[in-house]
Amino acid sequence: MNQEDIIDLGRLLSIIVDKKKVVISIIAVCTAIAAAVSCTLPKEYISQTTVQVMGIDMVISGKTTDSNIVSDMELLRSNEVLNPVWEQVFCDLEPENRPGIESFAKNYISVTNVKGTQLIKISAKGRTPQEAQYIAENVAQNFMELKNKAVEENKAMIGSVFDEKIQFAVKEADNATATLEKYVAEHGHSADTLEYKRLSREVDAKNVAYEALVVQAEKAKIQQSGNFIQVMDPANMPDENNPSGPKKKLLVAIGFVIGCLISLGYGLVLYKKKA
């Protein structure tokens, strides 16, 4: 390292002190600009609501599972849930001045999971307390309606599948019984013959398969009816006198730090000139 590359901190500090009026002016201007910007930025308010998605397994055992929580959170951020809210919230703005749906999802909506639970917290940002509450409330409502619709469709699909399987099982059992009855009619009650025993076992197997399907279908109905969503914490109305943003103190602090950095740079420039 060259000797001239080494900075004498004492000398640098002396230069800054000598130019303290300029340094203080730079810091004051940067801080004032930051304060002015913080005052011109629009106010922001945040409303929160919490929903719980439960399944029959949780109702019975009390245990939580996160198997579907990720997909539920993605559903909450989907256009299908957000679009109706987005259209209503920004209807007062010209189309070219409205944020896009992607920007709305990213900057106005926050969706988080309370770890180890089936609770999903929705935080909504708005330009007014009423708007923030409206967004949180309606995003939760749209999500619940969409989720319940999906549950009903899934229930109908599962019911249809089991109905087809049960009808087939009934047909198989009836055919096996008819075959056995035909054999008995032709050969009498020859219970000791191998063919009679085989046909009897087939009838029993078909009946067992049918009964098992009926049990499975009933269990599936119980599981589907046990899925439900409820609002744990309704969307709150933020205090109009206590906005969540802009963070004025933080912005002023950032302006002060920037002023200090510019002043340091100014001091370094003077230091190099006098070197």
Q: Mapped to the 3 state alphabet, what secondary structure does 190-216 carry?
A: CCCCHHHHHHHHHHHHHHHHHHHHHHH
This prediction has a pTM of 0.63
Per-residue pLDDT of the chain (275 residues; tens, 9 = 90+): 454 567 788 888 888 889 999 999 999 999 999 999 888 888 999 999 999 887 544 433 444 455 578 888 998 999 999 999 999 999 888 888 889 999 999 999 999 998 878 899 999 999 999 999 999 999 999 999 888 887 778 778 888 888 999 999 999 999 999 999 888 888 876 666 888 889 899 999 999 999 999 998 888 777 666 556 788 999 999 998 888 888 888 999 999 999 999 999 999 998 888 76
Local structure of 55: helix, strand or coil: coil
CB atoms under 10 Å from CB of 85, counted, come to: 22
Closest by CA position to 230, among listed 66, 105, 55: 55
Both tokens of 221, joined, read 């109905």
Q: Among 3.30.70.1130, 3.40.30.10, 3.20.20.70, 3.20.20.105, what is the CATH number of 45-233?
A: 3.30.70.1130
